[in-house]
Amino acid sequence: MEKKPVAARSRYDKLIQLGKKADLPKSPQEARLERVRNPHPDTAYLIRFTLPEFSSICPVTGQPDFAHLVIDYVPDRWIVESKSLKLFLGSFRNHGAFQEDCTIFIARSLIKFLQPKWLRIGGYWYPRGGMPIDVFWQTGEPPKGLWVPEQGVASYKGRG
């Protein structure tokens, strides 16, 4: 077996979830986001994560809430490692919080951890009690000249 160069191995040594068995964290507070260096820190480009099957728990009724989340961000020094993000977002499945709180908590956690140049989140929540609640937030204006596509989630009409 050929041994990898030390430089190639050590770049990702601190990642504890990527390429390894990792259980779903019990809560967002127990989840561990991980990051890697942005390979193009001099370029303003958009990274998008789309989660059409996000779920959390209503803190009052204990019933599940479902959302289609779209997270857009422009990295600075760091990009989020996607497996750690999936585990972080999956940890909300048993987490009791209102839809607005989940959406903003996710955005603020990513901002604190990554310190991106720009971030926006769209939380398109499916109806409970007959009314969808959509939650939108961004850090400010996107970088000048950046192409920011529409999030592509239609207003509620069955979301189909």
Alpha carbon distance 13, 21 (integer Å)? 15
For 5-40, the pLDDT digits (tens) are 444 444 656 766 666 678 888 999 999 999 999 999
Task: For residue 136, give the 3-state DSSP assignment.
Answer: strand
Q: In the chain, where are the structural domains located? A: 28-138
* pLDDT at res. 157: 66
Q: Which residues are catalytic?
A: 58, 65
Q: 54 pLDDT band (50/70/90 cuts)?
A: very high
The CATH code of the domain at 28-138 is 3.30.1130.10
Residues composing the chain: 160
Q: State the pLDDT at residue 23.
A: 87
φ/ψ bin of 158: left (φ > 0), alpha (ψ from -120 to 50), beta (otherwise): left
| Distance in angstroms (rounded) separating the CA atoms of residues 84 and 141 | 27
Per-position b or e across 1-23, b if 16+ CB within 10 A of its CB: eeeeeeeeeeeeeebebeeeeee
Q: Model confidence over 58-104: pLDDT tens digits?
A: 999 999 999 999 999 999 999 999 999 999 999 999 899 999 999 99
pLDDT at 158 (0 to 100): 61
pLDDT tens digit string along 121-138?
Answer: 999 999 988 889 999 999
